[in-house]
Amino acid sequence: MLRALPVRTRRRTAVLAAAVLAGVLVVVLVTAWPGGGSGNTTTVDGNPSAVLYTAGHRPLAPGFTGTTLTGSQLSSSSYRGHVVVLNFWGSWCVPCREEATTLAAVAGRYRPAGVSFLGVDVRDTTASAQAFVNQFHVGYPSVGDASSVITADFSDVVPIAGTPTTLVIDRTGHIAGAVFGTVTYSDLTAILAKVTAKGG
Amino acid sequence: MPVNVALGHLSNAFMIATLIIYSLSVFAFAGDFAFGRPRRAAAVRGQQEARDREAALATVGAAPGIPGTSGSAAAGTAAPEASGGPGDPGVPAASGGGGAAGSMPEPAVPAFRAIRAAGRWVIAAVLLSSLGAAAHTTTVITRGLAVHRAPWGNMYEFVTALTCVAVLFFLYVLIRYQVWTLGVFVMGSIVVALGLAETLIYTAPGDLVPALQSYWLDIHVTAMTLATGIFFVAAVLGAVYLWTDRYTRRVAAGQATPGHGIIRRLPSIEQIDRLTYRTVVFGFPVWTFGVIAGGIWADQAWGRYWGWDPVETWAFITWVLYAAFLHARATAGWRGRRAHYVQLLGFTSLIFNVMVVQVFIAGLHSYSGVAG
Amino acid sequence: MTDVRAPESDPFDPAAERDDPPRPGPGSPGGGAFGLADWLKWAWRQLTSMRIALILLFLLAVGTVPGSILPQQGADPAAVQQYYVSHPGLAPWLNRLGLFNVFAAPWFAAIYLLLFASLIGCVVPRTFRLAGSTRSLPPRAPRNLSRLPRSAEYVTTLPPAAAAAVAAKVLSGHGFRLRRPAAGEDAGATGETGPGNGHWVSAEKGYLREAGNLLFHLALLGLLVSVALGGLFGYKADRLLVQGQTFADTTSALDEFHPGRFVTGADLARFTMTLNQFTASYISTGQQRGQPSAFDARVTYTEQPGGPARTGHLAVNRPLSVDGAKVYLIGHGYAPVFKVTDARGQVVYDQATPFVAGATGNFLSEGVVKVPDAQPDQLGFTGVFVPTAANVGGTLESVFPAADNPVVSLIGYAGNLGENAGPAQSVYELDTAGMKRLTASPQALAPGQSLKLPGDRGTITFTGYVPWVSLAITHDPGQLPALICGMAALGGLLLSFMVRRRRVFVRARASQPGAGENGTTVQVGGLARTDASGSFEAEFAALAAELKSAHEQAAPGEPAVSPQPEGE
């Protein structure tokens, strides 16, 4: 024990340090409590899963090439200058079945406005996907993405958490809006209305 | 590589030999109780001496005179540790009362002389135990050679190996601390454990599933085998402690007559306590290392170093209980009897893990090779 | 955890107030005016007391028990569901108590947080104290050294002062920290009387013991922080990969993804991996027939998108490190390949379908085929894959886990799979509520064989099989810190058990008049604390012998002139 220092003070310092450390530990561990990850993106129309990116903050959509379900080659570059609705889907995915008719309806409504629809068929086989396309009379092409490589490239710029996900890409090739999960008619048309109206 | 059947048979033959020799050594240890040299008087003297020292320390503890000390509390508590008398009360103790020529501490009695001094029965018992240990070690080694791997891959092999560790460790304790009278308890328990393993869970030599084909198996399970063997000895010593303690308290309460035929020949209760503590102190870091090595192995095999798998959970419980023993021994009101109950609880959880959790509770560690 | 908490209330540790009973007066609730601050102080003192720590240790041990006996949500959610089914009355109560998720339950956290708070409350002040004690000196030598646990006494012809100096030299040569009487501290100051009583040496050694003890406990704290680090910044994911398939490590390509609190899908390593070939070898003869002997998965992977493709092996116990993540082989199975043609003759399903091995052994596996887009009705099949089929008393059994004689047995259903709306279903379960069973008995197919569905609903062909593996992908930034802390804990433990703190005192007094020779009596005393290895006895004996011989050498024959003491 050091004689030079008053014993009381030293003990009090030590105890105080211990108490503070214990408090910090508790805080750290409480925040470490298991919890889900969170997406933090700007939202639109009160629906947290329908997102509109403000101009100037739109992420650039990665380019991709792939084989369509009918066996032809398709490149994203051929869509430049068009507003594109990119729908990530799979024949195995239950919500995709729910939104299939919605997508077909919106596609029909916006075709005159020059909006192209394109599917990305995730973790699927051609046989099942083609059966789905026939079943729901999907009128637009889909690129096969059995390995999820295209999905992964897009996940780098937008937080794609699962299938389905629908992205709206503006004429400059930037992602202007997104619906994470099942699309509703109103959400998608609201996004498209803004993207096509702005002319950007 | 195929199993070497001939070596496997050789290993089994050595196992039988081991069991027979161990049984004989238990007889010899028991014979020492029945016919060996009396040790009581010396023991009493040794205890008296220890008590004197404790009393002395009560004053010494305060004497250094450090400001703000709680000197009085220091008294009796440091004593049990410091009062290490000579190992066997039967061996002449270094006595205190110095004359004009002064007194020097006597060097420790060499092991061989101590064994010889302990009498014919002890000589026989130690020789038989050593011979049995040699046969036991050969059993384990030949088994390992037969299966081309560390021979502790299933429960039968594990028990065989851990009892081998326990015997080797106990032989060290026996000779180092010259506690001949404890032999009958430890060797007796070994014979029982080994006999049960041989009759109930014998598993023919064989290969391991891929999950166990890792050098971390060798490291993790080796550490666990070593620690379990050491804790086995500690558990037997703890049981002897509790028995002696119970008797001592009954005598104090007038419920039993002093001079129990067996207990009076045992080392002092303080010495048993100390031996148990030292044994646990030796085993605890080994167990800790085994848990860490298990974590490394789990990380390599399953992608996480800790996942609360039932076996991991029980290894943790065992660790916590032994840690509690080490702490309890240093806490007023918990020393002695209570601490030893904690220690035995720790060993119970260990055995529960091996015998019940690994066999009956589904988990990632279900490799026991015993049909549930 | 050793006895960091002022154990054997220690003559070496004067500030060890741990075991003190609660003091009356303002220090305890029994006193008169007892404010909030006093209560807090009292609670803190209770929390950091050894007794409470011990109780918390017990609670920790007891609290973990249900976690090993009851099924746990994290490890086996299906077993928890099963428990709900078999114990409908009990399960909700157990769930309320958090017993299906013990290691994340608030009460469990409370136990270990209190324990660690208690540990901090003990270790930090002790660290301060150790820091202080490294700058302070050992205590003065007690008057009567023969009353110490170890003692020795002999006579030398050296004068007391010289004898003490020689002893000091010997002891400092052994690495002891020394204390000699200070100038004013001779005889009178300590209240000792008689000539030469002031010639003494106090020596102490073994500070590392306490340091090791503290290191151990601090390392345990570090371990807890490391675990928390992994929970905050790590993730764990699972992916089933059929031979020939490729996957990119992204959220939607994973079957399960458990991110830490501060982790999102964007933090995943960006690799892609292809399973080129998986082989499982089994022992084919002897008692262990059917036991697996080796697994090997050959993979091709790219660490970055568009990066160079590398090949690698994955095996049990041999993970692959890819771009900061580790990929583990944790399971495998068979995926029979089915081709389904519907009533219109259109191929509506053609893929390998992972089946999962059941508990019956020999890789008898079960699975489900769902064909949602078949016309006119949706089709579903429940199937069993038998790797080595044998007819045992009329039933199909697997007699070996390798696919030596593969057979699938199917039951067909038509109707509504229940998948057009509603919650996502398991790919391993078929909801037959809205379906009609097509065949009365299961139909067995060998590779290449087809089953014509009744009512012209189409055909299903068992075209072959491929193996699949399940992979775990983990990233745990707390892993290395945890390993380091674990090693530090072990090191601290070993230090605290192997090093013993001990004191040796030497006193040299002029022999009593009338004892004949005009010499000096040297007393040596020794004291060890928690001498776990029990070898202080031997050390002291050796030390005493060395001191004696040093004194004999320093004093050949007649009492010599006292040599100038060194180191003073």
Q: Please tell me whether residues C303 and C390 are part of one structural domain.
A: yes
C355 and C427 housed in the same domain: yes
Contact yes or no for A110/C385 (Cβ under 8 A): no
Write out pLDDT tens, residues B194-220.
Answer: 999 988 888 888 777 776 777 877 899
User: 3-state DSSP call for residue A142?
Assistant: strand
- Does C3 sit within 8 Å of B84, measured CB to CB? no
Parts of chain C with a pLDDT under 70: 1-33, 183-197, 360, 420-425, 512-518, 530-534, 556-568
The terminus-to-terminus CA distance of chain A in angstroms comes to 76
Contact C507, C199 (CB under 8 A): yes
The structural domains of chain B, with segments of one domain joined by +, span: 1-60+109-157+168-206, 208-372
Q: Give the helix ranges, DSSP H, for C148-259.
A: 160-173, 207-233
Q: Do C373 and A134 touch (CB under 8 A)?
A: yes
Per the structure, the count of domains in chain C is 3
pLDDT for the residue numbered C69: 85
Q: Give the global pTM.
A: 0.80
Q: Which residues of A touch C369 (CB under 8 A)?
A: none
Give the per-residue pLDDT at C418: 79
Task: Indicate if C119 and C164 belong to the same structural domain.
Answer: no
The model's confidence at residue B242, banded by pLDDT at 50, 70 and 90, is very high
> Is there a single domain that holds both residue C161 and residue C90?
no
Reported ipTM: the value is 0.80
Q: Same domain for C339 and C375?
A: yes
> Is residue C493 classed as helix, strand or coil in its secondary structure?
helix
Distance from CA of A7 to the nearest CA of B (A): 9
What is the full per-residue pLDDT of chain A (200 aa) written as tens digits?
A: 333 444 456 666 777 777 777 777 777 666 555 443 333 345 666 677 888 888 788 899 999 999 999 999 999 999 988 999 999 999 998 889 989 999 999 999 999 989 999 999 999 999 999 999 999 999 999 999 999 999 999 998 888 888 899 999 999 999 999 999 999 999 999 999 988 885 54
Residue C60 structure tokens: 């920790």
CATH architecture assigned to A50-197: 3-Layer(aba) Sandwich (3.40)
Q: Are residues C296 and C194 in the same domain?
A: no
Largest CA distance in chain A: 91
In chain B, the N- to C-terminal Cα span, in Å, equals 28
Cα–Cα distance, B50 to B54 (Å, whole number): 6
Residues of B in contact with A3 (CB under 8 A): 67
| In-domain check, residue C109 | yes
Contact across the interface for B68 and A3, Cβ inside 8 Å: no
**CA–CA separation, B317 vs B329, rounded Å?**
18
What pLDDT score does A50 carry?
A: 87
Nearest-neighbour CA in chain A from B313: distance (Å): 20
C513 plus C470 within the same structural domain: no
Final residue of a structural domain among C103, C133, C163:
C133
What φ, ψ does residue C141 adopt, rounded to 5°? -70, 135
β-bridge pairing C356-357 and A115-122: unpaired
SS (H, E, C) C12-71: CCCCCCCCCCCCCHHHCCCCCCCCHHHHHHHHHHHHCCHHHHHHHHHHHHHHHHHHHHCC
Q: A-chain residues within 8 Å CB-CB of B68?
A: 1, 7
Q: Which of A21, A25, A39 sits opposite C264 (nearest CB)?
A: A39
Tens-place pLDDT, residues C486-543: 999 999 999 988 888 888 999 888 776 555 556 788 889 888 876 555 678 788 888 8
The continuous run of DSSP H or E covering C547 comes out as helix C536-554
Note the pLDDT of residue B363.
60
Q: Looking at beta carbons, which residues of chain B come within 8 Å of A1? A: 66-68
Q: Of C118, C59, C210, nearest to A21 (Cα)?
A: C118
CB–CB of C103/B308 below 8 Å? yes
Residue B332 has pLDDT above 60, yes or no: yes
Residues C461 and C330 in one domain: yes
Statement to judge: residues C378 and C320 lie in one domain: yes
Neighbours of C, requiring at least 3 CB pairs below 8 Å, are A, B
Neighbouring chains to A with at least 3 Cβ pairs closer than 8 Å: B, C
Domain CATH code at residue C166: 3.30.160
Query: Contacts of residue B279 in chain C, CB cutoff 8 Å?
Result: none
State the residue range of the domain holding C170. 145-206+500-554
Residue C482 belongs to a domain? no
Tokens (6 digits) for C365: 């596996």
A122: helix, strand or coil: strand
Q: Which of A12, A21, A64, A101 is the best substitution to test chain C (most C C-beta atoms within 10 A)?
A: A21
* Residues A162-176 pLDDT 10s: 889 999 999 999 999
* pLDDT value, residue B293: 93
**Alpha carbon distances (Å) from C363 to A82, C202, C296, C331, C335:** 53, 73, 17, 12, 12
**Buried b / exposed e along B15-34 (16+ C-beta atoms within 10 A):** bebbbebbbbbbbbbbbbbe
Sign of torsion, CA C470 C471 C476 C479?
positive
Cβ-nearest to B78 among C10, C72, C482: C10
Phi, psi at residue B229, to the nearest 5°?
-60, -45
Same domain, C324 and C467: yes
- Smallest Cα–Cα separation from B293: which of B364, B365, B222, B209? B222
Q: How confident is the model at residue B362 (pLDDT cuts 50, 70, 90)?
A: low
Candidates B291, B313, B347, B352, partner chain C, best to mutate (most C CBs within 10 A):
B313
